């Protein structure tokens, strides 16, 4: 009997810890008539959340401290990184040029979303390997599709990674129009 009680306590403890780490409330008991939930973990309303700041042209920081990587787009790097070096080698452009383009993309994104309320739409995967949220972002005020607007105005290239490719065809169309019309970074 003592072993069963100890086992139950350990099992409940593991449940609480795993739910906290997963960021979900803990439901201890649930029937049709009664539910007991312990409000551990994070539970955010991603349908209406404030963008605290733009981190760069394709990453945002929310009021809850989480970072959001905009799905389907890629803006030039502003800061020294391995990706900046790879992009320089791949494109044949010098690092300073890429960083300047990155600053321009960042300024566009900053003006578009910083300090504004947004809603997030998720695709198949909710997080990337860096534990950032992966999302399509919409301005609450007027419904502007942020990911698409950045591409449409010429401040991003495409980065479609399966299985998160819900709007890949739309982004491709907007990207081609921006390049053909020499908008944003394509001037």
Give the domain ranges of the chain. Answer: 2-38, 49-186
User: Of 24, 63, 66, 69, which residue is the catalytic one?
Assistant: 69
Active site residue 66: no
Instruction: Say which CATH topology domain 49-186 has.
Output: OB fold (Dihydrolipoamide Acetyltransferase, E2P) (2.40.50)
Active site residue 69: yes
pLDDT tens digits for 114-142? Answer: 999 999 999 999 999 999 999 999 999 99
Is residue 73 within a helix (H) or strand (E), and if so which, with residue range?
Answer: strand 72-74
Q: What is the value of pTM for the model shown?
A: 0.77
pLDDT tens digits for 27-65? Answer: 444 455 554 445 455 568 999 999 999 999 999 999 999
Active site residue 103: no
pLDDT tens digits for 72-105? Answer: 999 999 999 999 999 899 889 999 999 999 999 9
Measure the CA–CA gap between 34 and 154, rounded to whole angstroms: 53
């Amino acid at each position: 009997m003592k072993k069963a009680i100890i086992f139950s306590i350990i099992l409940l403890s593991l449940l609480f810890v795993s739910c906290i780490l997963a960021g979900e409330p803990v439901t201890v008991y649930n029937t049709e008539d009664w539910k007991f939930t312990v409000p551990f973990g994070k539970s955010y309303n991603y349908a209406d959340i404030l963008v605290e700041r733009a981190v760069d042209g394709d990453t945002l920081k929310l009021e809850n401290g989480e970072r959001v990587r905009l799905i389907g787009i890629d803006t030039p790097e502003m800061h020294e990184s391995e990706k900046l070096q790879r992009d320089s080698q791949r494109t044949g452009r010098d690092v300073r040029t890429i960083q300047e383009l990155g600053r321009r993309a960042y300024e566009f994104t900053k003006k578009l979303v910083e300090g504004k309320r947004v809603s997030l739409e998720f695709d198949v995967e909710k997080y990337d390997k860096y534990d950032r949220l992966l999302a399509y972002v919409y301005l609450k005020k007027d419904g502007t599709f942020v990911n698409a607007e950045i591409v449409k105005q010429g401040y991003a290239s495409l980065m479609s990674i399966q299985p998160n490719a819900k709007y890949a065809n739309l982004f491709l169309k907007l990207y081609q129009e921006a390049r053909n019309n020499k908008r944003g970074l394509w001037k």
